[in-house]
């Protein structure tokens, strides 16, 4: 998924980076220290750790942490788990269920079917 807001920010980054000479014609969207090379895994991990520090997150984080966070956030927004399955590219629902650990807010909102019965 690429939101319109993120797309616009990426376009702004592209314009600024090109104007500053940090990006070559036909080069990488996220160039490495040398613009000829892509951003390395190590550089990306450093950026993730720096962002976690800036956000005051004390837990251990990684690129995979973002993937693990994606499904619960979508569940909390009431996105159907089958849609989440497609977005994550899973063939089996069981795999999605591992990522989509049930969010507490959703559990609190569940109403027992018994509550909906009308007394006769």
pLDDT in tens, 15-68: 998 888 888 888 888 888 888 899 999 999 999 999 999 999 999 999 888 887
Residue 103's Cβ-count burial label (10 Å; 0-12, 13-18, 19+) is middle
Of the pLDDT bands very low, low, confident and very high (cuts 50, 70, 90), residue 4 is very high
Selected residue with higher pLDDT from 34 and 110 = 34
With a pLDDT cut of 70, the percent of the chain lying above it is 90
Count other C-beta atoms under 10 Å from residue 23's C-beta: 19
Q: Which residues are CB-contacts of 62 (< 8 A; sequence separation ≥ 6)? A: 45, 48
Token pair belonging to 95: 């795999």
In order of 12, 53, 90, 95, 112, the CA distances from 6 in angstroms are: 10, 22, 24, 27, 39
CA–CA distance, 83 with 77 (Å, rounded to integer): 12
């Amino acid at each position: 998924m690429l939101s319109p807001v993120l797309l616009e920010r990426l376009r702004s980054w592209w314009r600024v980076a090109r104007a500053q000479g940090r990006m070559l014609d036909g080069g990488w969207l996220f160039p490495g220290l040398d613009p000829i090379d892509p951003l390395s895994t190590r550089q990306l991990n450093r950026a993730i750790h720096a962002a976690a520090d800036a956000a005051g997150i004390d837990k251990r984080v990684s690129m995979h942490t973002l993937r693990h966070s994606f499904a619960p956030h979508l569940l909390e927004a009431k996105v159907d788990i089958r849609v989440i399955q497609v977005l994550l590219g899973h063939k089996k629902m069981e795999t999605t269920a591992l990522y989509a650990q049930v969010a507490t807010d959703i559990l609190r909102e569940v109403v027992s079917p018994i509550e909906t019965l009308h007394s006769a």
